Amino acid sequence: MRIATWNVNSIRQRIDHLTAWLVERAPDIVCLQETKCMDEVFPRESLEALGYNVAVHGQKTFNGVAILSKLPFDEVTPRLPGDDVDDHARFLEAVVSTPRGAVRVASIYLPNGNPPSTEKYTYKIKWMDRLSKYASERLQLEEPLILAGDYNVIPNSIDVHNPAAWETDALFLPQTRERFRTLTNLGLTDAIRATNDTKGLYTFWDYQAGAWQKNWGIRIDHLLLSPQAADRLVGAGIDKHVRSWEKPSDHVPVWIDLKIEG
DNA sequence: ATGGCCAATATGATTGGA
């Protein structure tokens, strides 16, 4: 079973890229972020035509997450628990059934948090604390669980072209990275790092300043796996070539293969 | 690592992104 995540930076701008990539990579489940539209105008038909069930949780203009799945959804639940007044569309959880049992997947668009001196950073940190609480509860189910998305967290120095330049950025501050470690310390595995320890694996290149041409990238899109998922991990990759397509997203797809029959 | 971008909005300037 192949599971992927991709921040598309507007689903309506990127629908042709998405369908081309779906044909090429043939994932079973895809978590999308920054769809940037209301559910009524989400281009679900072109995805259903490729055999995907489509679950959306969007809002006007900003944020927005979705999950595509070849298997039917048993459950679909929007919103990260822990704050009833948080109205950002940043979280969507789904459960599908395989012959080996349930697989639980969440599409995550964690707040950026810049600039760090503002309530935007406070919101990010609180969101990360809520995510840890959610994860610790779900881990008790002892299911294959995949938390996939744009975390807006650079976990380590090897995950950024120029660490010194990012020292005071919300994506790389010690408090941010501490909370990412809280997640992994719960028993969640960073799938890319479990399979590849080389430096310079990036998932995002800024549109500005020729960042792509200079390979000034950062690794901020992650798939975190419960032990029951990590034990079945047989491959992982980053589809870097998609960044060179015409009018690309600034993020590229990241995917894993789990040995789960069905 | 900001000179250089991109997307959405009743839009022609502003906000948010990372």
Which residues face A89 on adjacent strands?
none
Task: Give strand letter and number of the nucleotide nearest A109 (CA to C1').
Answer: B17
Residues 6+ apart with CB under 8 A from A45: none
Q: Where are the alpha helices (DSSP H) in A10-148?
A: 11-25, 44-48, 119-139
Domains present along chain A, CATH in parentheses = 2-258 (3.60.10.10)
Q: Is A109 a catalytic residue?
A: yes
Q: In the structure, how far is the CA atom of residue A261 from the C1' atom of nucleotide B13, in angstroms? A: 54
Provide the CA A82 to C1' B10 distance, Å, integer: 36
Strand B bases, protein C-beta under 7 A:
1-10, 16-18
Token output for A220: 């901020």
Number of helices (H), then strands (E), belonging to chain A: the values are: 6, 14
- Cα angle: A14, vertex A180, A61; to 5 degrees: 30
| Strand B protein footprint, C-beta under 7 A | A 7, 9-10, 12-13, 34, 36-37, 60-62, 111-112, 114, 120, 150, 152, 161-162, 165-166, 171, 204-211, 216-218, 220, 247, 250
**CA A80/CA A93 separation, integer angstroms:** 9
Percent of chain A with pLDDT over 90: 98
Q: What is the value of pTM for the model shown?
A: 0.97
Per-residue model confidence as pLDDT tens for chain A (262 residues):
999 999 999 999 999 999 999 999 999 999 999 999 999 999 999 999 999 999 999 999 999 999 999 999 999 999 999 999 999 999 999 999 999 899 999 999 999 999 999 999 999 999 999 999 999 999 999 999 999 999 999 999 999 999 999 999 999 999 999 999 999 999 999 999 999 999 999 999 999 999 999 999 999 999 999 999 999 999 999 999 999 999 999 999 999 999 987 5
- In 3D space, the residue among A223, A220, A219 whose CA is nearest the CA of residue A145 turns out to be A223
